[in-house]
Amino acid sequence: MASRSVNKVILIGHLGRDAETKFTPSGAAATRFSVATSRRWKDQQSGEWKEDTNWTNVVLWRAENVANYLLKGKQVYVEGRLQTRSYDDKDGKKVYATEVIAEDVVLLGGRGDGEGGGVGVGGAAASAARGARSSAGSAGGSMPAADDDIGPMGISDDDVPF
């Protein structure tokens, strides 16, 4: 009989900080961010509601453009696998780090989702998307003629990282 195993993680939570992309010496992009997930339960003894928040570190490989969109406070869906690695710190002590290696990351929330700490952070594409969202929601809000050739949201397919 063949043995089977499954290593699958699915998270839906909020980003704890803006994503950062760094490159390995060979040029591979590694985007890192943390996701906060919470659970609520009613304490059987006191009858009070309690909440517990868990922070999970996530790594997304070979996705150079997504850091502009993964901003603190945004809600995300992450699917991937769990990985534990070890390294020696500066004092020579062995340190273990467990993280999710993401295979799929999807931004959640509506088009008018204005939450997050993204003010002043992000590239031109992210700013254009935020500006287009607020323009489209206003009365008679049509995009300027210069943006008509790149779509109604003011961004082209090349700007979307997924």
Closest CA to 137 of 124, 122, 153: 153
Specify if 2 maps to a domain. Answer: no
Specify if 92 maps to a domain. Answer: yes
Contacts of 55 (CB under 8 A, 6+ apart): 16, 34, 35, 36
- How many folded domains does the chain comprise? 2
Q: Are residues 57 and 107 in the same domain?
A: yes
Specify if 56 maps to a domain. Answer: yes
- Residue 32 confidence class, pLDDT cut points 50, 70, 90: very high
Mean pLDDT of 45-69: 92
Contacts of 85 (CB under 8 A, 6+ apart): 96, 97, 99
Nearest 5°: phi and psi at 126? -65, -40
What percentage of residues in the chain have a pLDDT greater than 70?
A: 67
Mean pLDDT of 99-127: 59
Instruction: Reply yes or no on whether the pLDDT at 55 is more than 60.
Output: yes
Instruction: Reply yes or no on whether the pLDDT at 162 is more than 70.
Output: no
CATH number for 93:
2.40.50.140
Q: Are residues 27 and 60 in the same domain?
A: yes
Q: How many CB atoms neighbour CB 104 within 10 A? A: 11
12 vs 36: CA distance, rounded Å: 8
19: three-class secondary structure by DSSP: coil
10 vs 35: CA distance, rounded Å: 11
Q: Are residues 155 and 105 in the same domain?
A: no
- Residue 48 confidence class, pLDDT cut points 50, 70, 90: very high
Specify if 69 maps to a domain. Answer: yes
Q: What is the mean pLDDT of the chain?
A: 75
Do 76 and 58 touch, CB atoms closer than 8 A?
no
The 10s digit of each residue's pLDDT in 94-104 is 999 999 999 99
Q: What is the pLDDT of residue 158?
A: 54
Do 82 and 54 touch, CB atoms closer than 8 A?
no
Q: Are residues 48 and 85 in the same domain?
A: yes
Parent domain of 140: 123-162
122 vs 155: CA distance, rounded Å: 14
Closest CA to 59 of 70, 75, 50, 51: 70
**33, burial (CB in 10 Å: exposed 0-12, middle 13-18, buried 19+):** buried
Specify if 1 maps to a domain. Answer: no
Q: Are residues 73 and 136 in the same domain?
A: no
